[in-house]
Structure 1
Amino acid sequence: MNNNKQLITTIRQFNRFYANILGLLDQHVLNTGYSLTEARIILEIGFIQPCIANQLVDKLTIDRSYMSRIITKLSNDGILSKETSTTDNRISLIHLTSKGMTLFNQLNERSDEQIMKLLHDLSQEEIAEIHNAMLLIQRKLGGDLHDTI
């Protein structure tokens, strides 16, 4: 039991450390004016567009009503557009607008830059160790390798 408590403490401590390093608790992620959740939704739409809200709900495990509010906000901001599916008029396909694609590209670039800054002072051996540790964690916990931010 004591080992489990120590493991849980260590994992939670690492999660706080990593969230802090990436600035995930900042009100606006990567100086975009959007929250972490909003940024993740923008990225996911960019990766899989066109998509439907249910895909995003499943992928990000977000409450449907919360997802709906975020999609409405991003639509009002001119980031997203919705169109009715030609095969099923009950489904709205979600796309990034040109403004949304610009933001998507900024998020990707800034995320890459952030990671490069983190790794800048490390040796190639240290970078390989971190990379392998992250792959191991994802493999063991069943994570998707293209999740970003």
Structure 2
Amino acid sequence: MNINKNTIADIRQFNRFYTNILGLFDKHILDTGYSFTEARVLLEIGLLEQCIANNLVDKLKIDRSYMSRIIAKLSKDGLVIKENSTLDSRTSLIRLTPKGMTLFNQINEKSDEQLVRLFQGLSQNEIKEIHASMMFIQKKLDSLGRI
């Protein structure tokens, strides 16, 4: 399949636009002191409640050694704890500590506030259109199995 060069340019421009709006390249996302990737790992652990590093590697498509360094940093900072699995002693379960849960909640709140500010000034209909477009894009790309 051949995609028009103008279409590719427009999609890439949108990607740059949206990542800039969300501040994904800021050194510390949402004033947390953590990078986007570190915060994303923390969020995934919080959403899963407990997991193993391999689940995170697969879900976030992050290199295993990089994931290991992120988990080590989050552990050192007292945000996550690793415990041996009762089912398999070779496996470590990762979960948030109370301090990690506090940061998890803070990131969620700040992310929600960021979106409220982003859509401020738009009508309910415009917000619904943007939401529907985002869900359409997600559904189409997800159906390809590449996400």
Counterpart residue identity of residue 86, structure 2? T
Q: CA deviation at 1:2?
A: 8.6
- CA RMSD after TM alignment: 1.4
Counterpart residue number, 2:61: 61
Identity %, equivalent residues: 67
Counterpart residue number, 1:103: 103
Confirm whether residue 6 of structure 1 aligns to residue 29 of structure 2: no
Counterpart residue number, 1:134: 134
Counterpart residue number, 1:116: 116
**Which secondary structure state, in structure 1, belongs to the residue aligned with residue 100 of structure 2?**
helix
**Which secondary structure state, in structure 1, belongs to the residue aligned with residue 93 of structure 2?**
strand
Counterpart residue number, 2:93: 93
Counterpart residue identity of residue 23, structure 2? G
Unaligned runs of 5+ in 2: none
Counterpart residue number, 1:146: none
Instruction: Say how many residue pairs are matched.
Output: 143
Unaligned runs of 5+ in 1: 144-149
Q: Which runs of 4+ in 1 moved over 4 A?
A: none
**Which secondary structure state, in structure 2, belongs to the residue aligned with residue 93 of structure 1?**
strand
Q: TM-score, normalised by structure 2?
A: 0.94
Q: TM-score, normalised by structure 1?
A: 0.93
Counterpart residue identity of residue 103, structure 1? L
